[in-house]
Amino acid sequence: MNKTIYDVAREAGVSMATVSRVLNGTAVVKEETKAKVLAAIEKLGYRPNAVARGLASKRTKSIGVILPDVSDLFHAEVLRGIEDIATMYQYHIILTNSDAREQREIDLVGTMWEKQVDGLIFISQDVTPQIVKTFEQAQLPVVLCATEDPEGRIPSVSINNEAAAYDATRHFLDRGVTRIAFLGGPPTLPVSRERRKGYEKALSEAGLPLDETLVLHARDLHYEAGLATASAFLHKTSGADAVVAVSDELALGYLNALRERGGEAPQDVLLLGFDNTRLATMLRPQLTTIAQPTYDLGAVSMRLLTKLLHEEAIEQYTVQLPHSIIERDSTAREARA
Amino acid sequence: MNKTIYDVAREAGVSMATVSRVLNGTAVVKEETKAKVLAAIEKLGYRPNAVARGLASKRTKSIGVILPDVSDLFHAEVLRGIEDIATMYQYHIILTNSDAREQREIDLVGTMWEKQVDGLIFISQDVTPQIVKTFEQAQLPVVLCATEDPEGRIPSVSINNEAAAYDATRHFLDRGVTRIAFLGGPPTLPVSRERRKGYEKALSEAGLPLDETLVLHARDLHYEAGLATASAFLHKTSGADAVVAVSDELALGYLNALRERGGEAPQDVLLLGFDNTRLATMLRPQLTTIAQPTYDLGAVSMRLLTKLLHEEAIEQYTVQLPHSIIERDSTAREARA
DNA sequence: CTGAAAGCGCTAACAT
DNA sequence: ATGTTAGCGCTTTCAG
């Protein structure tokens, strides 16, 4: 059998309540008795049982994280940000993958509740009304990470996707490049839709017509999808001088499809990605990209959640982190013919 | 206040024990009363409190995962394997990053104990005696993943690193390539050491002397380290016809360093990596690599842990998964001058 | 400043 | 087949 708080109390010659007090610092304890307790704890090698503690206090010091897929580089990096701040505030992470399936996401909120997590960080490509409803029923503090609630009722930390794509497109326009292709994800996906909106806005502001033949949609944001889509439809965009891809992986897929036909960037087309994943610097040419503060997205989400949990004052329930454009070789114009 | 098992019992007109029974299937319950209970649960929207359950049953259905860094592609993929199997067996994952620091690893085992996890999956570059001792004191079922206990006392799932590097080296030797460089990680790191052993063994079997000038050590297994080391010492290995790098990222680092001097693979050197990360197919040239069954490493570890937890029969406490060599363009000899 | 006692919500004997 | 009754190990009033 394992040591309990009773054993410590007996060993120290005090009551269990006192032990609890020195453990939690919930009340002042005389230095002398505190020392006795600490000694007893040390001697017995006692460690408090967090489960019992959770039951009695109704706070488990654990928070749930629901995300589509940890093995996705972007999510893994966000998660690292979450975890670091969680550790800092003494919270533990209970992690689950949703595979971006709505029903599973909803079910997971339920099992997270069963686990009595103190709060939830939710990462999804699409925060549907169903899901929002689930959050409200669950009565759990939730922070959306890298997404927003369209209705704005759930606290969130994200970037302004429309503005980011706008900036990306403007980057080319400002340099006199006007035939700009867009490689997006599924048209229904909010991120993809917002970015397309930014792309279109920049074009129309510049007085350019939207040329549908320059718009491609991959089935998701991964490399394989980018390669497949670009391979199949490269001819559509053959007139393009530049490509805005909504993820670094998609950009690379486009590039490799181009290479299959003997093309190269930036010589044949200027190429810009999204996310500034490690990939961007590992490639040759290095990839110009819109940097999302990936790690910070997670870190700030977790920080916001701690504020929610500790009822600290909160200025902003919906925070948008700044993005930036990082210029690298894939858009180096000097290299162009 | 939230619904408890009492509320359900009252609503259904039975005792709480009966509710518990239909919830857990721990005893036969008459169909009729079972239906009443289920109806009551449904009506009240009752969900069992996993914390209370954990305290009473002394099993939390959660397992701890300690790994160096989730944002590392390899670990993230292993983790996904763990998580999938965990979900299948209804376990939850409590995740923590150790940053490969021994003291932190040891501390984390302690906090995992506090959380009353049913078991632990431990991923580390170096399973020191200190850590093994910690496991034994903690009395926790542990499975080492992607590493082994040198003493063989802790169950583990890994690959045979020495054999893998041996095969990689032989791959070149069998094709008449004899000047083979080795790009390893820190010499003290077990993985790196074992792989070097395999490299040396293949050479000596072939009657070739070990040429120290062909051996490079990066400070870790990441791209940046590979680039830095290769940039600084490329001249040392300039006579090499082939390079065995102990990770895909390291291989890419070498390649990009080579490119800085106008070189390219496979034209100037045949290049082989390790791990078969997604990177390998995303690059051009695509990278020949030793495939570790990354996902399976996690999945099999978790499966082994469930066997430990459920006291199922176990044939093998120390399993080695098969590796394989995947030939791609980076070692295509036809392309060589 | 410290102790006694009542739960937290559930499982698991032990009865019936 | 179902009910009764102790706890699980801790936090948290409430007294003193």
The encoded tokens of residue B151 equal: 């003493």
Q: Are strands A92-97 and A62-67 parallel, antiparallel or unpaired?
A: parallel
- Dist. CA A171–CA A290, nearest whole Å: 11
Is there a cis peptide before residue B322, judged by omega within 30 degrees of 0?
no
- Dist. CA A130–CA A138, nearest whole Å: 12
Q: A93: which residues sit within 8 A by CB, 6+ positions away?
A: A62, A63, A64, A65, A79, A82, A83, A86, B94, B95, B96
- Dist. CA B177–CA B163, nearest whole Å: 19
Read off the pLDDT band of B334 (50, 70, 90).
Answer: low
Is B199 buried (19+), middle (13-18) or exposed (0-12) by CB count in 10 A?
buried
- Dist. CA A273–CA B327, nearest whole Å: 29
Query: What's the order of all strands across the beta sheet hosting B180-184?
Result: B215-217, B180-184, B242-245, B270-274, B288-291, B324-326
Å from the B3 CA to the C9 C1': 10
B58-90: pLDDT as tens digits: 999 999 999 999 998 899 999 999 999 999 999
CA-closest candidate to residue B116, choices B178, B50, B54: B54
- Dist. CA A155–CA A305, nearest whole Å: 9
Given an 8 Å threshold on Cβ–Cβ distance, is A114 in contact with B48?
A: yes
Residue A231 has pLDDT above 50, yes or no: yes
Q: In the prediction, which pLDDT does B301 show?
A: 98
Given an 8 Å threshold on Cβ–Cβ distance, is A51 in contact with B116?
A: yes
Q: Which residue of A has its CA nearest to B223?
A: A282
In this complex, the nucleotide whose C1' atom is nearest to the CA atom of residue B58 is D8
Residue B294 has pLDDT above 50, yes or no: yes
Question: Residue A16, CB, less than 7 Å from strand D?
Answer: yes
Question: Residue A56, CB, less than 7 Å from strand D?
Answer: yes
Q: What's the distance, CA A161 to chain centroid?
A: 13
Q: In the prediction, which pLDDT does A27 show?
A: 85
Residue nearest to nucleotide D13 (CA to C1'): A17
Give the minimum alpha-carbon distance from A202 to chain B in angstroms, rounded to a whole number.
31
Given an 8 Å threshold on Cβ–Cβ distance, is B83 in contact with A69?
A: no
Query: What's the order of all strands across the beta sheet hosting A156-159?
Result: A318-321, A156-159, A142-145, A119-122, A62-67, A92-97, B92-97, B62-67, B119-122, B142-145, B156-159, B318-321
Which residue among B55, B94, B283 places its CB closest to the CB of A55?
B55
* C-alpha distance from residue B27 to each of B8, B10, B22, B34 (Å): 18, 20, 8, 11
Q: Is A55 an 8 Å CB contact of chain B?
A: yes
Å from the B156 CA to the C10 C1': 34
Q: Is B27 an 8 Å CB contact of chain A?
A: no
Q: How confident is the model over A277-304, as a mean pLDDT? A: 95
Q: In the prediction, which pLDDT does B317 show?
A: 96
Q: A176: which residues sit within 8 A by CB, 6+ positions away?
A: none
Q: Which residues in chain B have their CB less than 8 angstroms from residue A52's CB?
A: 55
Given an 8 Å threshold on Cβ–Cβ distance, is A282 in contact with B256?
A: yes
Q: Is B111 an 8 Å CB contact of chain A?
A: yes
Q: Hey, what amino acid is at A180? A: I
CA-closest candidate to residue B173, choices B272, B291, B287: B272
In this complex, the nucleotide whose C1' atom is nearest to the CA atom of residue B5 is C9
Q: Is A256 an 8 Å CB contact of chain B?
A: yes
Q: How confident is the model over B132-147, as a mean pLDDT? A: 95
Mean pLDDT of all residues belonging to chain B: 94
Q: Is B59 an 8 Å CB contact of chain A?
A: no
Q: Is A169 an 8 Å CB contact of chain B?
A: no
φ and ψ at B160, to 5 degrees?
Answer: -90, 95
Å from the B107 CA to the D15 C1': 39
Given a contact cutoff of 8 angstroms between Cβ atoms, the answer to whether B116 and A62 are in contact is no
Q: Which of A1, A51, A115 to mutate to test the interface with B (most CBs of B within 10 A)?
A: A51
Residue nearest to nucleotide D1 (CA to C1'): B29
- Paired with B157 in beta bridges are B145, B319
Lowest mean pLDDT among A26-35, A56-65, B47-56, B224-233: A26-35
In this complex, the nucleotide whose C1' atom is nearest to the CA atom of residue B36 is D2
A92-130: pLDDT as tens digits: 999 999 999 999 999 999 999 999 999 999 999 999 999
Q: How confident is the model over A262-275, as a mean pLDDT? A: 95
CA-closest candidate to residue A70, choices B94, B81, B297: B81
Given a contact cutoff of 8 angstroms between Cβ atoms, the answer to whether A62 and A117 are in contact is yes
In this complex, the nucleotide whose C1' atom is nearest to the CA atom of residue A49 is D9
Planar angle of CA A199, A200, A206, nearest 5 degrees: 100
Give the minimum alpha-carbon distance from B208 to chain A in angstroms, rounded to a whole number.
34
Query: What's the order of all strands across the beta sheet hosting A288-291?
Result: A215-217, A180-184, A242-245, A270-274, A288-291, A324-326
Q: Hey, what amino acid is at A102? A: E
Q: B148: which residues sit within 8 A by CB, 6+ positions away?
A: B127, B156, B158, B318
Q: A8: which residues sit within 8 A by CB, 6+ positions away?
A: A16, A19, A37, A40, A41, A44, A46
State which nucleotides on strand C lie below 7 Å from a protein beta carbon: 1-5, 7-13
- Dist. CA A188–CA A67, nearest whole Å: 19
Mean pLDDT of all residues belonging to chain A: 94
Q: Is B90 an 8 Å CB contact of chain A?
A: no
B183-203: pLDDT as tens digits: 999 999 999 999 999 999 999
Give the E-state strand segments of chain A in sequence order. Answer: 62-67, 92-97, 119-122, 142-145, 156-159, 180-184, 215-217, 242-245, 270-274, 288-291, 318-321, 324-326
- Dist. CA A227–CA B242, nearest whole Å: 29
Q: HSE of A263 in the Cβ direction (CA atoms, 13 Å)?
A: 25
Helix (H, G, I), strand (E, B) or coil at A217: strand
The encoded tokens of residue B98 equal: 């150790």
Residue with more model confidence, B335 or A113: A113
Cα end-to-end distance, chain A, whole Å:
77
Residue nearest to nucleotide D2 (CA to C1'): B18
State which nucleotides on strand D lie below 7 Å from a protein beta carbon: 1-5, 7-13
φ and ψ at B35, to 5 degrees?
Answer: -60, -40
Q: In the prediction, which pLDDT does B7 show?
A: 93
Which residues 115-134 of chain A have a CB within 8 Å of chain B?
115-116
Q: Is B89 an 8 Å CB contact of chain A?
A: no
Q: In the prediction, which pLDDT does A337 show?
A: 46
Q: Is A30 an 8 Å CB contact of chain B?
A: no
Q: Which residue of B has its CA nearest to A277?
A: B71
Is A211 buried (19+), middle (13-18) or exposed (0-12) by CB count in 10 A?
middle
Q: What's the distance, CA B228 to chain centroid?
A: 26
B33-52: pLDDT as tens digits: 999 999 999 999 999 999 99
In this complex, the nucleotide whose C1' atom is nearest to the CA atom of residue A2 is D9
Q: In the prediction, which pLDDT does A334 show?
A: 64
Q: How confident is the model over B239-265, as a mean pLDDT? A: 95
Q: Is B276 an 8 Å CB contact of chain A?
A: no
Q: Which of B1, B77, B92, B96 to mutate to test the interface with A (most CBs of A within 10 A)?
A: B92
What is the share, in percent, of chain A residues with pLDDT greater than 70? 99
- Dist. CA A88–CA B267, nearest whole Å: 49
| For the segment 148-177 of chain B, residues whose CB is within 7 A of strand D | none
Q: Is B57 an 8 Å CB contact of chain A?
A: no
What is the share, in percent, of chain B residues with pLDDT greater than 90? 90
Q: Which residue of B has its CA nearest to A92?
A: B94
Q: How confident is the model over A220-249, as a mean pLDDT? A: 94
- Dist. CA A32–CA A167, nearest whole Å: 64
What is the interface size between A and B, counted as CB pairs within 8 Å?
119
- Helix (H), strand (E), coil (C) string for chain B: CCCCHHHHHHHHCCCHHHHHHHHHCCCCCCHHHHHHHHHHHHHHCCCCCHHHHHHHHCCCCEEEEEECCCCCHHHHHHHHHHHHHHHHCCCEEEEEECCCCHHHHHHHHHHHHHCCCCEEEECCCCCCHHHHHHHHHHCCCEEEECCCCCCCCCCEEEECHHHHHHHHHHHHHCCCCCCEEEEECCCCCHHHHHHHHHHHHHHHHCCCCCCHHHEEECCCCCHHHHHHHHHHHHHHHCCCCEEEECCHHHHHHHHHHHHHCCCCCCCCCEEEEECCCCHHHHCCCCCEEEECCHHHHHHHHHHHHHHHHCCCCCCCCEEEECCEEECCHHHCHHHCC
- Dist. CA B61–CA B50, nearest whole Å: 9
CA-closest candidate to residue B239, choices B263, B203, B215, B214: B214
Residue B337 has pLDDT above 50, yes or no: no
Q: In the prediction, which pLDDT does A45 show?
A: 93
